[in-house]
Amino acid sequence: MSVADAAPISRRAFLAGSAATGVVLLAGPADVRLAHGAVVRRYPFALGVASGDPLPHRVVLWTRLVRDPLDAGSMPRRPVAVEWELSRHPRFRGARRHGVVRALPRLAHSVHVDVGGLRPATDYWYRFRVGRHVSETGRTRTAPEHGASIQHLRLGVANCQDWQSGYWPAYTALADEDLDVVLHLGDYIYESDPASAYRDRLHTKPHRSGLNQLFTLADYRNRHALYKTDPALQAAHAAFPWVVTWDDHEVESNYANRVDADPHRPRRQGPVRFARERARAYQAYYEHMPIRVPYRVGSPNLRIYRRFDFGNLLRLNVLDTRQYRTPQPDGRGGGYGAEDAGRANTHGTLMGSGQERWLHAGLRSSPARWNVIAQQVMMSRLRFPTEPGQTQYVTNLDQWDGYAPARDRLLHFLASARVANPVVLAGDLHASCFSDVRLNFDDPTSQIVASEYLATSISSGFAPGDDAALKAANPTLNPHIRHFDGARRGYLRIDVNRQRVQVEQRSVDTIATRSSPVRTTAAFVTAAGSPGVVPA
Ligand code: FE
Ligand code: CA
């Protein structure tokens, strides 16, 4: 059965606010015994609620039932009836939508309710119930009607949230913004073993610790669940619909398709073994995200690249540059290597041919004023300062620099197809980096074909030495980079209208505490018809 099939199996009233209401037991298919509410004694919504993938008339609602959040095996091995409710009123007054879905043990009792029949560009509130337990209330917002001439859209962009690096005041601040949608560009979890300066920010122990790697399905589920216990992350999920994609650490560092990029034995696995690990990681990712994708239990692959339209103002192309990529050329461990290795990677691809065709088609046919390419790794060239004895520039071959011919192909396509106002979003670097995307980065006078806004991390670190070195070297080494800041953690707030996109780097003062002031530490604009990033 399709696990995305969340058709309501009851129309029975969900009595708002009445804790006395027992679980609604239903006449489902005869072979499915829904667990009685009594088997869920403890509050099962400790991982919060979320919504995502907003369309004009649909949105996905998510939760996952847990007993012990850090023990994926602690729930009863039976389906559990979960009621959902959705309303245009924050206290669920007036007309409501509701239904019951089954949370299945083989999907870790996660639920994905794809609610249809909604009004475009409208706020909704939602919650779940099992037995006497009622979840927190989440708020979501549908996308504008297809083709609607909308004037204004606000996005948040987050990525790279290493739990062990510190706390996430950035998410507390993000939850306080007024946004239509939040994008997450990957590194939602990290796979490393427990090691943290903060005693309450230690990773859970995987099945086989000592290898900086997760292996079993329970390992991945428990790590996702650990991250989801964070109240700031829960608040940000409950505040807005999210559109998520993954990068490498949701499986393991720098992997490429079925190639385990780990340079160290015994961590490095062959393709068959690694494919199994990847499948478990993908399953846990699906189980924990408010995402509308056709997942089948046991499938080795999961197509998550997809597209969203926000009226005729903005088309959002969400890429997956991990699952289909060819291995990094000459990458050693961290992926750093000679720039020339990336230039010579003529058969390399980050997207794979199917996704590349899909992206070109979506850009060519777009009705939108702004065409956003939301993806994981930095697209613009980033040369690192050479050290004594080095005769070649060093780049991060895990980024587009390792796949320069594929990047040339995309940039020439943007130019020749006259794609309207392309804006590239990226993460992974753990620094803010805003760039003019030039057709030829070696020629500082060549045509600017797009604008790249790379968001700093929520918490993952950037070496202070590298920050100082790049700040000093960028004007000569990477003159297309107009803003670079590796010292601050935070997110991007993007305000879009028909005339311009304005991007603010929102930075917290510290991640050593759960709360911190947040400030705008950089503001840039891209004017419609004039690609490139300019100080606001
Ligand atoms: Fe990261
Ligand atoms: Ca990454």
Give the tens place of pLDDT for each residue, 283-315.
Answer: 999 999 999 999 999 999 999 999 999 999 999
CA of 206 to the centre of ligand 1 (A): 20
For residue 334, is pLDDT > 70? no
CA of 399 to the centre of ligand 2 (A): 9
Asked, as a colleague might, if the bond just before 388 is cis with ω within 30 of 0, I would say: no
- Closest by CA position to 182, among listed 171, 196, 197, 166: 171
pLDDT in tens, 102-116: 999 999 999 999 999
Three-state SS annotation for 387-408: CCCCCCCEEECCCHHHHHHHHH
- Who wins on pLDDT, 397 or 25? 397
Domain 11-141 - what CATH class? mainly beta
CA of 194 to the centre of ligand 1 (A): 17
Domain ranges, ordered by start, for the chain? 11-141, 153-535
CA of 427 to the centre of ligand 2 (A): 8
CA of 399 to the centre of ligand 1 (A): 12
- Closest by CA position to 189, among listed 311, 285, 291, 295: 285
What's the average model confidence in pLDDT over 251-258?
94
Task: Among the bound ligands, name the one nearest to the CA of residue 165.
Answer: 1
- Grouping H, G, I as helix, E, B as strand and the rest as coil, residue 467 is helix
CA of 244 to the centre of ligand 2 (A): 14
Q: Enumerate residues 6+ apart whose C-beta is below 8 A from 173.
A: 490, 491, 506, 508, 516, 518
CA of 160 to the centre of ligand 2 (A): 7
CA of 69 to the centre of ligand 2 (A): 25
What's the average model confidence in pLDDT over 112-138?
97
Q: Enumerate residues 6+ apart whose C-beta is below 8 A from 294.
A: 2, 4, 303
Mean pLDDT of the chain: 92
Task: Among the bound ligands, name the one nearest to the CA of residue 160.
Answer: 1
| Lookup: tokens for 532 | 């490139």
For residue 325, is pLDDT > 50? yes
pLDDT in tens, 75-106: 999 999 999 999 999 999 999 999 999 999 99
Would you say the CATH fold of 153-535 matches that of 11-141?
no
pLDDT in tens, 424-438: 999 999 999 999 999
In whole angstroms, how far apart are CA 475 and each of 388, 483, 484? 20, 10, 10
pLDDT at 389: 83
CA of 398 to the centre of ligand 1 (A): 12
Domain 153-535 part of CATH 3.60.21.70: yes
Query: What residues sit around ligand 1, an ion, with C-beta below 5 angstroms?
Result: 160, 187, 460
- The crossing angle, in degrees rounded to 10, of helices 217-228 and 271-288 is 30
Task: Among the bound ligands, name the one nearest to the CA of residue 335.
Answer: 2
Task: Among the bound ligands, name the one nearest to the CA of residue 455.
Answer: 1
CA of 301 to the centre of ligand 1 (A): 22
